[in-house]
Amino acid sequence: PLYDLTERVQLVLRYTFLDSSGDNGIRLSRYQNDIEPGRGDRYHDFYAGVNWYLYGHKLKWQTGVQYTTMTDSARDGGAYDGWGITSGIRISW
């Protein structure tokens, strides 16, 4: 969901849930996988961010914080618990 604070500032929330029917059915995303290359079976991801539209969708700054946790029932090295910060400028023409 999102909420417009003003015409140029927007709050964004996201929740992702993945559940594998078997052990080791889920792999972490690109950068998290560099930290923990194992696989798990249940994944939760929470994200909260802000979009600042400098020139509509053609120029915007996006930034947010993310918390991710993954359980590993097989206990073979796939459990993960971590925070991340993402920020970037998006340009299109």
Kindly report, residue by residue over 15-40, the tens digit of the pLDDT.
999 898 878 777 776 666 656 667 78
What DSSP assignment string belongs to 20-76?
-SSTT-EE--HHHHHH---EESEEEEEEEEEEEESBTBTEEEEEEEEEEEEE-TT-S
Per-residue pLDDT band at 79 (split at 50, 70, 90): confident
CB atoms within 10 A of CB 33: 13
Considering the entire predicted model, what is its pTM? Answer: 0.81
**Is the pLDDT score of 55 beyond 70?**
yes
Domain count for the chain: 1
Domain interval for residue 41: 2-91
